[in-house]
Amino acid sequence: MQEDNKRLFKEYDELKKEIMALRLQLNSIDAEKETAFGKKDAVTKEISDLIKKVKELKTKRDDLTKQVKSSKEKRKELNDIIVKKIEGVKQVNAEKESFLKKFGLKEAPSRVKEEMDRLEMSIETSGMSFEKEKETMKKIKNLKKRYDETKEINALFEKSRSISKEIDKLKDEAEEAHQNVQKDAAESQRSHEEMLELSKKIDELKPKEEDAYKKFFELKQKFSEVNNSLKEKLEKLNEAAQKLGVEKERGRSERRGREDRILRSKEEEVMDKIRKGGKLTTEDLIVFQGIKE
């Protein structure tokens, strides 16, 4: 029995040491596992943020591409109108030149009108002589006649100026559309290039994410294995503890039996001494006192 107890105590102590070592190992693996998960989670988040940015850039690029297309269409429409307007103004100018040749005019009727207005103003303000005034009035009359005869030419000049203004305005709009095409196309290209750079970075991060997850998964499996081993050792420790408890109780019962047998033997010896009139020792008296009680 003593050998069994020694064996059980030795097994119990060894199990406690093994359990302590397993717990330390489990804590170490758990810390590594959480670190690996943190790294994996950080890479996953970085990839997710980059994918979100790529989607935003793609939307921006696509919107800019649509704007470029729209601006190009607008520029083409404006240029087509400008071409037609230029053809129109050329026709009007041709008619204008024809009238100028017909009436022998070397200057626009508007210049004739300006000269008329200047001479009329000089009569009112210069205080010229009667003869000079008559001469000026005659010039004005001749100019007015020439001006009235060329009213149709005036209309052509006005039409030419009006179309030229329209052409200038259309050219400004076409240039603005062209500038928008250049600006939006450049911005679209920048977005596209940035999107390609981010996509490249995502491709570079994916293997890191896989490696981090693989490391985490391996540690998770190792943690599970060590944890299962710890559970088995704890069960064995519990069994050993229960066995030790039974053996202790059995040992105490056997000790009590031996003590009882020794005590009864002592009591018989004392009673035999008393019957024979023998001298009792101090120990005999203690035993005898116990018997009386």
Which string of b and e fits 101-127 if b means at least 16 CB within 10 Å?
Answer: eeeebeebbeebbebbeeeeeeeeeee
Which structure tokens are listed for 188?
A: 């679209």
Which structure tokens are listed for 67?
A: 């704007």
Radius of gyration (Cα) for the chain, nearest Å? Answer: 60
Residue 136 near residue 128, CB atoms below 8 Å? yes
Q: Please give the pLDDT value at position 130.
A: 77
The residues of the chain scoring below 70 in pLDDT are: 1-5, 103-110, 127, 149-151, 245-264, 266-268, 270-293
Which string of b and e fits 135-154 if b means at least 16 CB within 10 Å?
Answer: ebeeebeebeebbeebeebb
Residue 194 near residue 57, CB atoms below 8 Å? yes
Distance (Å, whole) CA 1 – CA 253: 13
pLDDT tens per residue across span 188-204: 999 999 999 999 999 99
Amino acid at 227: N
Which structure tokens are listed for 100?
A: 């100028």
| Size of the chain, expressed as the number of residues it contains | 293
pLDDT tens per residue across span 163-190: 999 999 999 999 999 999 999 999 999 9
Residue found under tokens 């999107």: 195
